[in-house]
Structure 1
Amino acid sequence: MGRWGIVALAALAVMGTACSPGSAEPATSDEASTSATRTPRITDDSGRPPVTFDPCYDIPDDVMNAAGYDAAKKEVADMPMGTYTFLGCAYDKRDHIPGVRRGYGLNILSGNVTLEEEHSKNAHVASPITINGRAGLREVGPSGNNECTYALQTEFGVVLFNRLYYTDTVEPAPESEWCSGMDQFVTSLEPYIPE
């Protein structure tokens, strides 16, 4: 995920309550299709493009609920970093399978770093992918065990889907499980992301 991803995830954990989930109006399909015209909630002083896709507002709650993530408990965070910006949204999926997993944690981060920058930070774990015709990367274990990140290219930068597999044992899950189901999940969300 690279240094900005780690910084953004840390900021998301600290600032996750900056906007309460109850204050976030659920996005409708109409709102999602017009997200490219949204005025960014925050900007930075980097000269990079403004982040025009906000995962907490532009992905419909009913879509996330259907995927098993409780949108009523999502956490919104603004992360202006000076030289780049990330808008983040955190979700939990508690589909406990005793002895296997306790569920997943998901962070969706929309930022104005390029796909090339993301690749240069994580080339050792990244492989190129295409989702619905959009260029991207699959990063297996960018920050450690049980983690999978999909990065999709946008006009303003990237959208990162970072999922952590919560094991129900002290051992890590088999690496083959870290990204299990992510292709289908990210494919279902990609249409909500502007070009």
Structure 2
Amino acid sequence: MRVTVAPAPHQPSRAGITVKYDPCFTVPDSVPETLGFAVETRERNDYVFEDYAFIGCEFDRLEKARFSDRMDRVGSMTVWSASITLDEIRAKNFEGSQDTNIRTRPAVSYTSRSASACYLAMNGPDGVIQIRVSDSPETDWRACAHIREAAEAIEATLPKG
């Protein structure tokens, strides 16, 4: 990996399942790079709560934004390994929630208009792997057109089983 990040934060024992699969150390540089995200922006993005944890990594999409001559952040991709189940994701009734499969893994996709983002959660090593792809009005590139491609690229790197 071209960019190193800190280890995952401590997870309280009462969180139940400890997230061991850490996308910051397991997603190879080739995945975000192939999807158009800047590997050098690899950054830890974790959420640890009393009962569950999301351990993850974020990559920025950089391009010349409208009305700019410099490279700007116009989107991102975040990959989390979380200690919750796909049924817990389904129970939240997110906007546009839809059951699907990524190869043989059951998955749920949904959107967040307020965040200009699309999400996909699929069964993973510690519960679910959740992927968020976002965009901004400064680009014509649209996140929701690429969430499935991102999920398939991430799925190919996951342990089988």
TM above 0.5, one fold? yes
Pick aligned residue for 1:193 from 136, 155, 158: 158
**CA distance in 2: counterparts of 1:80 and 1:47, whole angstroms:** 9
Structure 1 alignment gaps of length 5 or more: 1-20, 26-39
> Which one has a larger percent helix, Structure 1 or Structure 2?
1
1:56-115, Cα deviation, whole Å (9 max, x unpaired): 11000132222221222211144331211111211101134638x963122211110111
Pick aligned residue for 1:107 from 71, 78, 91: 78
TM-score with structure 1 length normalisation? Answer: 0.67
**CA distance in 2: counterparts of 1:135 and 1:119, whole angstroms:** 12
State, as a whole percentage, how many aligned pairs show the same letter.
21
2:81 and 2:126 in contact (8 A); partners too:
no
Residue of structure 1 equivalent to 2:91: 120
Residue of structure 2 equivalent to 1:183: 148
1:53 and 1:193 in contact (8 A); partners too:
no
**CA distance in 2: counterparts of 1:139 and 1:151, whole angstroms:** 9
**CA distance in 1: counterparts of 2:143 and 2:42, whole angstroms:** 22
Deviation at 1:44, TM superposition (A): 2.7
Indicate yes or no: 2:22 matched with 1:23: no
Structure 2 alignment gaps of length 5 or more: none
Indicate yes or no: 2:18 matched with 1:50: yes
1:147 and 1:163 in contact (8 A); partners too:
yes
> Which one has a larger percent strand, Structure 1 or Structure 2?
2
Residue of structure 2 equivalent to 1:152: 122
Indicate yes or no: 2:37 matched with 1:69: yes
Greater than 6 Å deviation, 4+ residue runs? none
Aligned Cα root-mean-square deviation (Å):
2.8
TM-score with structure 2 length normalisation? Answer: 0.79
Query: Secondary structure of the equivalent of 1:105?
Result: strand
1:137-159, Cα deviation, whole Å (9 max, x unpaired): 11022x62521001111242111
How many residues of Structure 1 are paired with residues of Structure 2 in the alignment?
153
Query: Secondary structure of the equivalent of 2:136?
Result: strand
Change (3 A) 1:102 1:156: closer
